[in-house]
């Protein structure tokens, strides 16, 4: 079939994995089964969808997504569990899971998930790839370089960042240049987009940098300019 998908089923019992694989085959798709993550990491999937069940989700979907990221795997993830709580489902989706299914699976539920995957997997996988790559690059930054990136993402000029960090504008320029080099960013807007792709928490603050001056700010809120023009 044209939309034949591979389901990488990991976790649960051998019986539940066999039942899920049987359902996948009945719908004309393919299934690969793994007893645990280590077995899957020996043959990391590069396409299809990962269906993570029960014990694999013991520490939550976010922790699992982090493990997949460490392995360079950005295949869409679907969580599957008996009687998942509403909070679990919400947290998993917010963390980056494509879907959450309730076990035991039914043909209808699996069909719904596959339809969702077919319509959304490309965008979802690309977003996961960007997230993993951005977090990896940002992880190479020093503490000061990360602070410069955070304030740059707030639209702050070098002078405003210098006041906030209580260092000279020239020192900010040096940290900014090093940060851009490590990120492989050609301009400030590209570094900011990478920061947004990473989905990391920003600098905690209430009123912005010292003195309240940000690039493009005035006494009244001006029309927002394109990112490339707002970031120096």
Find where tokens 């919400």 sit: 90
* CATH number of the domain to which 162 belongs: 1.10.10.10
* CATH number of the domain to which 98 belongs: 3.40.50.2300
**50 and 110, same domain (yes or no):** yes
Find where tokens 């905690």 sit: 204
Its pTM stands at 0.60
State the residue range of the domain holding 14.
6-136
- As averages over each run of 10 residues, the pLDDT of the chain (232 residues) reads 83 94 94 95 92 93 89 89 90 86 92 82 66 84 94 92 94 95 91 82 45 37 39 45
Q: Which of 13, 37, 9 is nearest to 23 (CA)?
A: 9
Our CA angle for 107, 113, 114, nearest 5°, is: 85
Structure confidence at residue 221 (pLDDT): 35
Report phi then psi at 79, rounded to 5.
-90, 145
**18 and 115, same domain (yes or no):** yes
Q: Please name the residues in contact with 66: beta carbons below 8 A apart, sequence gap of 6 or more.
A: none
**55 and 159, same domain (yes or no):** no
**20 and 125, same domain (yes or no):** yes
């Amino acid at each position: 079939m044209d939309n034949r998908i591979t389901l990488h089923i990991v976790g649960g019992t051998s019986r539940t994995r066999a039942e899920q694989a049987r359902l996948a085959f009945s719908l004309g798709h393919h299934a690969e089964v793994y007893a645990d993550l280590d077995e899957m990491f020996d043959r990391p999937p590069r396409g299809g969808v990962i269906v993570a069940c029960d014990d694999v989700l013991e520490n939550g979907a976010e922790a699992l997504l982090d493990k997949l990221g460490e392995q360079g795997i950005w295949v869409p993830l679907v969580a599957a569990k008996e009687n998942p709580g509403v909070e679990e489902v919400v947290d998993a989706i917010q963390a980056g899971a494509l879907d959450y299914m309730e076990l035991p699976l039914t043909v209808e539920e699996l069909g719904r998930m596959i339809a969702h995957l077919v319509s959304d997997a490309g965008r979802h996988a690309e977003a996961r790839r960007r997230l993993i790559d951005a977090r990896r690059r940002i992880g190479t930054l020093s503490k000061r370089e990360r602070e410069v990136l955070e304030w740059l993402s707030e639209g702050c000029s070098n002078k405003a960042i210098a006041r906030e960090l209580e260092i000279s504008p020239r020192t900010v320029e040096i940290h900014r240049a090093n940060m851009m080099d490590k990120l492989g960013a050609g301009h400030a807007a590209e570094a900011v987009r990478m920061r947004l792709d990473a989905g990391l928490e920003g600098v905690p603050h209430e009123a912005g940098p010292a003195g309240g001056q940000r690039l493009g700010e005035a006494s009244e809120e001006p029309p927002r300019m394109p990112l490339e023009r707002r970031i120096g």
